[in-house]
Chains A and B, each alone.
Chain A
């Protein structure tokens, strides 16, 4: 078996939140294998555990039990330095609320991860400009986040996620705060990056537009994988889905 076939694997992932004397099980044994270079969407209603799964895969939160393997490395075995290295080099994050650093310009936001990675200032700036060009924002290099529209901010966030050539991009509801048209543009951009740069895209969403371009769709319900579908198998069903009101 080729060990490089899977970029992310989770085994029996469980995450519990304690609120007072109540224990809430957000993830209840999730086993998921994600292939290198695929575009996978994690779908599910809010409260289904999508974001919790996203956080666990991205190493942003520790699971209660079970394990996450990134490139066959068990994330639980990593110390703080190695975890930071992983977040810096292997994973790029995109959030629903963009999460740009408000005090920095678009270019500085994109350059920040390259500073952590040890790139020189000049190389970092060169890389930043190149990336902002890819996402179509080379005319907005020195704008602050609040001077950009939501769609533009998300583009900066995508450029920033790509800064250190990650093998995985984790997107948590990337279109959640955007209007329909801008959302479509962002989805198209993610797909283009997936095809052109071969980066694996894992996206938590409840945006049905995402289905169209995903290679596989994972349906989460009550902290478990409800079903796992390949796009070619559900294309027939798309017609009836479009009949449903979108949001």
Chain B
């Protein structure tokens, strides 16, 4: 029996060195998972995409109202200082509405912006629920696969790693598409209602900021939503994971 002890020690050290899943391989497997289950991935992605599209469109409306107010203020100031030589039709409308009922106009704008702020919080909540649901389903339907991987020698961390990479990729791509969708539609609507004056430098900077914010929120929420189901699945004994029937 004493012969067994050094052996056990050697195998212990081998373990630390030998069970592994290189990051590049993990990315490869995750990409394959997304690509092959494309129809399923699209539905998962649609949940995230629509949430982010909603968020982006609401935030973009808010940006437009800020930009619009700024333009009105600048026009009125320029008019009052007598700097406007050629007054366009748009400008005439702005000046007349701004000067005839300054107080009411300002209050309206403020109320509108508050509404939009509330709406974007709602949008985020919808977004979170959609993403959590999508990721929960995508993990649950793969319990059997997870059990099999563990039988082949995968550590809990491999499973978690695979799901995290997959969710980050899905989250990132769908957030980008979702943002473009929401942003494009609202911009289009704005062209038809208020015309082109709002599409200046400020429009592009706020678009870019909103793009970063949307992608960050989308990817982060997807990541967060994957943590509980992925950990639960990874920690299951393989026999239990294999028994699950969906």
CB contact under 8 A between A84 and B155, given known A99-B242, A103-B32, A116-B21: yes
B153 close to A85 (CB less than 8 A): yes
Nearest opposing residue in chain A for B158, CB measure: A116
The smallest C-beta distance from B105 to any residue of chain A, in angstroms, reads: 58
Residues in A whose Cβ lies below 8 Å from that of B188: none
The answer, among B15, B144, B156, B237, for a CB contact under 8 Å with A99, is B144
Using a CB–CB distance below 8 Å, which chain A residues touch chain B? 3, 55, 58, 60-62, 72-73, 80-82, 84-85, 87-89, 93, 95, 99-104, 112-113, 115-118, 121, 144, 160, 163-164
Contact with A along B139-163 (1 / 0, CB 8 A): 0000011011111111110100000
Residues in B whose Cβ lies below 8 Å from that of A115: 21-22, 25
B150 close to A87 (CB less than 8 A): yes
8 additional contacts (CB under 8 A) given A95-B148, A116-B21: A3-B4, A73-B8, A82-B15, A87-B150, A87-B152, A88-B152, A88-B153, A95-B242
The answer, among A80, A89, A116, for a CB contact under 8 Å with B20, is A116
The smallest C-beta distance from B9 to any residue of chain A, in angstroms, reads: 11
Q: List 28 A–B pairs whose Cβ atoms lie within 8 Å, in order of A's numbering.
A: A3-B3, A61-B237, A72-B4, A73-B4, A82-B11, A84-B19, A84-B153, A85-B11, A87-B153, A87-B238, A88-B19, A88-B153, A93-B151, A99-B144, A99-B148, A99-B151, A99-B242, A101-B148, A112-B152, A113-B152, A115-B22, A116-B19, A116-B152, A116-B158, A117-B19, A121-B25, A160-B152, A164-B153
The answer, among B33, B37, B148, B154, for a CB contact under 8 Å with A84, is B154
Interface size of B in residues (CB-CB distance below 8 Å): 37
Residues in B whose Cβ lies below 8 Å from that of A80: 155-156
A118 close to B18 (CB less than 8 A): yes
Residues in A whose Cβ lies below 8 Å from that of B11: 73, 82, 85
Q: Which are the 4 A-B pairs with shortest beta-carbon distances?
A: A88-B153, A61-B239, A60-B239, A103-B36
Residues in A whose Cβ lies below 8 Å from that of B86: none
Residues in B whose Cβ lies below 8 Å from that of A60: 151, 237-239, 242
Q: Would you call B208 an interface residue if the criterion is a C-beta within 8 Å of the partner chain's C-beta atoms?
A: no
Residues in A whose Cβ lies below 8 Å from that of B33: 103
A87 vs B3: C-alpha distance in the bound complex, in angstroms?
23
A87 close to B145 (CB less than 8 A): no
Contact with A along B2-31 (1 / 0, CB 8 A): 011000100110111111111001000000
Residues in A whose Cβ lies below 8 Å from that of B151: 58, 60, 87, 93, 99
B145 close to A102 (CB less than 8 A): yes
The smallest C-beta distance from A47 to any residue of chain B, in angstroms, reads: 14
A58 vs B242: C-alpha distance in the bound complex, in angstroms?
13
The smallest C-beta distance from A129 to any residue of chain B, in angstroms, reads: 18
The smallest C-beta distance from B12 to any residue of chain A, in angstroms, reads: 7
A116 close to B153 (CB less than 8 A): yes
Contact with A along B208-246 (1 / 0, CB 8 A): 000000000000000000000000000001111010000
